[in-house]
Amino acid sequence: MITTGIDREIRRSAAIAVLGTGSYLPAHVITNDEVGEPAGVTGEWIHAKTGIRNRRRAKPDEATSDLAVIAARAALESAGLRAADISLIVVATSTPDSPQPPTACVVADELGAAPGTAAFDVNAVCSGFVFALTTAERILHGTDGHALVIGADVYSRILDPADRRTTILFGDGAGAVVLGPSRGGEVAATRLASFGADRELIEVPAGGSRLPASHRTVAEGLHYFTMNGRGVRDFVAENVPGAVREFLADAGTSPDRLARFVPHQANGRMLESLSAELGLGPGRTCTTFEEFGNTGSASVPITLDQAARAGELSPGDLILLAGFGGGMAMGLALLRW
């Protein structure tokens, strides 16, 4: 595992913190009945298995960057900053607008960021936002700069409508935060980990250099997102609770001191088990899966923004962000609000 952090004495004078949050969910609501019919399951079955009732779907002319730009503007407004104030833009996504250029460069241009603003993408699938947050936080240390960190995915474009293991779970959306010199809070600690031996649990087999697009790969459906649901549940159960406890202990705290837990919204039933294992009941675990489903790398920042705008976060609160998914990968971040 990679753990990032610096001496607490230094942090008091040079901490980087979340200064604003934003999110965007497309207007088009997709119900369980709509995704269930082609997948051969009922809406009631989907809710019983996942806790999800609805999810959002991007319009045909909306790409990942379009969602990201709207979320970024909301985060900038929340932080009281302009695009010209930003020195770094990091977009976490596994559904970029195109293989090249980076979606972050499209976002920077659409926002009107200053020429020369550094912009790049991070792909750690559903852990991507925490990986991007960690990267941006480290880059900003020792500077007076500000960063936009965005998680955005349009999974509806890579789902097989007939695959009930995936199509019932995912929605489209984007979430963003602005990082900068602390106004009171801080990114107190982060930890990143990957488990490449388990990489085949979640994948899109074709479209890269190993299996370039061809008539065969399209005909065989190899460009669709695939997931071994049971294997993913086992991975989370076996790895995440212990990693969270160890991370918090190393940061000098424990689950009982957390005000809020903001996990990746993978599956409602999975989150119920994870929260119970960590002793974090519904009052402290923030969720959005029921109405938005699993929005990939966007789920953590969307859920954080929803909690912030609902007045659920108070100055001084300790907040744990936890992302986990394809790679397999896991990212943890401890925020002081």
Supply the residues annotated as catalytic. 126, 264, 294
Cβ distance 128 to 94 under 8 Å? Answer: yes
The Cα-based distances of 191 to 132, 188, 248, 249, 317 in angstroms read 12, 11, 10, 12, 19
User: Which tokens go with 15?
Assistant: 């901490």
- CB-CB contact of 105 with 68 (8 Å): no
Per the listing, tokens 């909306």 go with: 62
**Residue type at 157?**
R
Scored b (16 or more CB within 10 A) or e, 230-267 reads: eebbebbeebbbebbeebbeebebebeebbbbbbbbbb
Q: What backbone torsions phi and psi does residue 25 show, to the nearest 5 degrees?
A: -120, 125
* Contact call for residues 114 and 144 (beta carbons, < 8 A): no
Amino acid letter, 253: T
Q: Classify residue 170 by its DSSP letter.
A: B
